[in-house]
C-alpha cells in the first residue's frame, strides 16, 4: 500500500503488538457489557412478563448497530467529512469499510490495525442505544425500538462521537471525555429522558407493584458490567501501559465509593440497605468515572465516586418522584446524571501528572461540551421518536402491555 491510497483519516500502520493484544481483549470485555451484561442488569429489574423483551432489545441493538456501523456509522463517526460540516459529522469515504483493513490504521491510534480500532469503537456504539431502552422498558413496540435504534445511531450517536472523538468541534475545544461519559452516558441519558416523557408512564405507574422480578439477574448483570468496564475505561488508553493501569484502578475505586455513598443516602432515607441500591451505586460510580478515568489520579476518582452515589440517587429517586416521569430503569437518573457529574468533575480533578492531555482542562470547557451533547441528543431524539410515532407507532396497546411484552411482541414467555 502506498501513502497516496490512504483515506483522509488514515495513517500507515506501525503495529504495536502489546497494544493490539490489549485492545482485542478490551473489545471482548466491552461487547460483554451489552450482551449478556446489560441484558441481565435490565432484565432483572422489570416484571417477569417483560424480561424477554428487554433482553431482546439488547440483542437487537447489537445486531442492528453492528450492520449500520459497517455501512455508514464508522465513517460518519471517525472519518473526515467535507470541510463545511466536519466539525459536526464525518464523511462517507469509509462507508461499507471502503479502504479500511487490517493493514491500515486510524490516525488517532497508528499502532493498531484499523479493523481493531473500528471493532473497539463499535462496542461503544452498540451499548449506547441499548442503555436508552431502560427508559422505555415495558411499553415500546419492538418494531419501534428497532427503527429507533437504527435512526438514533445515525442521527445522534455518530455525529456526537465525531464531535467529541473524531476531530469535531468539541474535541477541538478541549473537552475531555476519556471513555464516553458524554458520548455514551450523557447522550443515552438525555435520550432516555426524552423518550420517557414522550412515551408517557406505564399503565398503573405509581399505583401498581412494579418491583424488580429477579434481582439475582440484576446482580449477575452488574458483575458483568463491572468486569467489562475495565475494558471500557482501561482499553480507552489505547495501549497496555501505565495510563491503562491508572484508568483501571480508578474505575474500581469510583464504583466502590459510589456504591457506599448511594447506600448511605438510601439507609438514611429508607432505614434499610437494599441489594438494588448497592448495585445501582456501583453502576453510578462506573458511569461517573468514565469521562475522567484516564485524566485523574485515584484521589480524584475516589471523590468522583463519592459524589456520584448521592447525585444519581437523587436523579433516580427524588427527581423522578418530584416530576412524575416514568424512566423505567433510570437511564437518565444513573447514566445522564452520573455522566454529567463525572464530566464536570473531570474539569476539577484532571491532572497532567496522569495525562498530558489534561493541560488546560476547566469546568467551563466541560460544561460547554455537556451542553452541546445534551442539545444534539435532545433534539435528535425528539425527531427520531416523532418519525417512529408516525410510522411504526411508539407504544403497544394497553391490552398488550397488561399481558406483557414477552408474549405480545415475541410470542415467548418465562415459565
For residue 384, pLDDT over 60 is answered with yes
Contact 118, 27 (CB under 8 A): no
What pLDDT was estimated at residue 4? 52
Q: What is the pLDDT of residues 62-73, one digit of tens each?
A: 999 999 999 999
Task: Summarize the confidence of residues 402-411 as an average pLDDT.
Answer: 97
**Mean pLDDT across the chain:** 97
Q: What is the pLDDT of residues 358-374, one digit of tens each?
A: 999 999 999 999 999 99
Superfamily grouping for domain 9-410? Ammonium transporter AmtB like domains (1.10.3430.10)
Contact 331, 38 (CB under 8 A): no
Q: What is the pLDDT of residues 250-283, one digit of tens each?
A: 999 999 999 999 999 999 999 999 999 999 999 9
The secondary element (H helix, E strand) that includes residue 152 is: helix 142-152
Q: For residue 161, give every residue at least 6 positions away whose Cβ sits within 8 Å of its Cβ, in sequence order, or none.
A: 77, 78, 121, 124, 125, 183
State pTM to two decimals: 0.97
* Nearest alpha-carbon partner for 121 in 20, 191, 30, 222: 30
C-alpha cell at 179: 471513555
Task: Summarize the confidence of residues 188-199 as an average pLDDT.
Answer: 98
For residue 2, pLDDT over 60 is answered with no
Contact 344, 367 (CB under 8 A): yes
Q: What is the pLDDT of residues 47-101, one digit of tens each?
A: 999 999 999 999 999 999 999 999 999 999 999 999 999 999 999 999 999 999 9
Contact 281, 259 (CB under 8 A): yes
For residue 296, pLDDT over 50 is answered with yes
Contact 290, 339 (CB under 8 A): yes
β-pair type (10-12, 104-106)? antiparallel
Q: How far apart are the first and last CA of the chain?
A: 57
Q: Count CA atoms within 13 Å of residue 73 on its CB side.
A: 27
Q: What is the pLDDT of residues 107-162, one digit of tens each?
A: 999 999 999 999 999 999 999 999 999 999 999 999 999 999 999 999 999 999 99
Q: What is the pLDDT of residues 300-341, one digit of tens each?
A: 999 999 999 999 999 999 999 999 999 999 999 999 999 999
Strands (DSSP E) contained in 48-199 are: 104-106
For residue 5, pLDDT over 90 is answered with no
What pLDDT was estimated at residue 3? 46
Cα dihedral value 349, 351, 355, 356, nearest 10 = 140
Per-domain residue ranges of the chain: 9-410
Estimate to the nearest angstrom the gap between the alpha carbon of 7 and the chain centroid.
Answer: 28
Q: Rounded to an integer, what distance in angstroms lies between the CA atom of residue 413 and that of residue 336?
A: 32
Task: Summarize the confidence of residues 170-189 as an average pLDDT.
Answer: 98
**DSSP H stretches of helix in 184-336:** 187-199, 215-234, 242-270, 275-289, 298-313, 319-323
Q: Rounded to an integer, what distance in angstroms lies between the CA atom of residue 131 and that of residue 44?
A: 15
Amino acid at each position: 500500500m502506498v501513502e497516496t491510497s490512504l483515506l483522509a483519516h488514515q495513517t500507515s500502520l506501525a503495529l504495536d503488538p502489546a497494544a493490539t493484544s490489549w485492545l482485542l481483549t478490551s473489545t471482548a470485555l466491552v461487547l460483554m457489557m451489552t450482551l449478556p451484561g446489560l441484558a441481565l442488569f435490565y432484565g432483572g429489574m422489570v416484571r417477569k412478563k417483560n424480561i424477554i423483551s428487554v433482553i431482546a432489545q439488547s440483542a437487537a441493538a447489537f445486531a442492528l448497530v453492528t450492520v449500520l456501523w459497517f455501512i455508514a456509522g464508522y465513517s460518519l463517526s471517525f472519518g473526515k467529512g467535507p470541510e463545511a460540516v466536519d466539525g459536526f459529522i464525518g464523511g462517507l469515504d469509509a462507508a461499507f469499510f471502503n479502504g479500511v483493513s487490517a493493514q491500515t490504521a486510524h490516525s488517532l491510534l497508528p499502532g493498531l490495525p484499523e479493523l481493531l480500532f473500528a471493532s473497539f469503537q463499535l462496542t461503544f456504539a452498540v451499548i449506547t442505544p441499548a442503555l436508552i431502552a431502560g427508559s422505555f422498558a415495558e411499553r415500546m413496540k419492538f418494531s419501534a425500538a428497532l427503527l429507533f435504534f437504527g435512526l438514533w445511531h445515525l442521527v445522534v450517536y455518530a455525529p456526537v462521537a465525531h464531535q467529541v472523538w473524531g476531530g469535531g468541534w468539541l474535541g477541538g475545544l478541549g473537552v475531555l471525555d476519556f471513555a464516553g461519559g458524554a458520548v455514551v452516558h450523557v447522550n443515552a441519558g438525555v435520550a432516555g429522558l426524552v423518550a420517557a416523557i414522550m412515551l408517557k408512564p406505564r399503565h398503573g405507574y405509581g399505583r401498581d407493584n412494579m418491583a424488580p422480578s429477579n434481582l439475582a439477574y440484576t446482580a449477575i448483570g452488574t458483575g458483568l458490567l463491572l468486569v467489562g468496564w475495565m475494558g471500557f475505561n482501561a482499553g480507552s488508553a489505547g495501549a497496555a501501559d501505565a495510563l491503562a493501569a491508572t484508568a483501571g484502578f480508578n474505575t474500581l475505586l469510583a464504583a466502590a465509593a459510589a456504591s457506599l455513598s448511594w447506600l448511605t443516602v438510601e439507609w438514611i432515607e429508607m432505614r434499610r440497605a437494599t441489594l438494588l441500591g448497592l448495585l445501582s451505586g456501583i453502576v453510578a460510580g462506573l458511569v461517573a468515572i468514565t469521562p475522567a478515568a484516564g485524566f485523574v489520579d485515584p484521589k480524584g476518582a475516589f471523590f468522583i465516586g463519592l459524589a456520584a452515589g448521592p447525585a444519581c440517587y437523587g436523579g433516580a429517586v427524588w427527581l423522578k418522584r418530584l416530576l412524575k416521569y416514568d424512566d423505567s430503569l433510570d437511564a437518565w437518573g444513573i447514566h445522564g446524571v452520573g455522566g454529567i457529574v463525572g464530566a464536570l468533575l473531570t474539569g476539577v480533578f484532571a491532572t497532567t501528572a496522569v495525562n498530558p492531555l489534561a493541560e488546560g482542562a476547566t469546568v467551563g470547557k466541560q460544561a460547554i461540551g455537556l451542553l452541546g451533547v445534551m442539545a444534539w441528543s435532545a433534539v435528535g431524539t425528539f425527531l427520531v421518536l416523532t418519525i417512529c410515532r408516525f410510522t411504526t407507532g411508539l407504544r403497544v396497546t394497553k391490552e398488550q402491555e397488561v399481558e406483557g411484552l414477552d408474549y405480545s411482541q415475541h410470542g415467548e414467555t418465562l415459565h
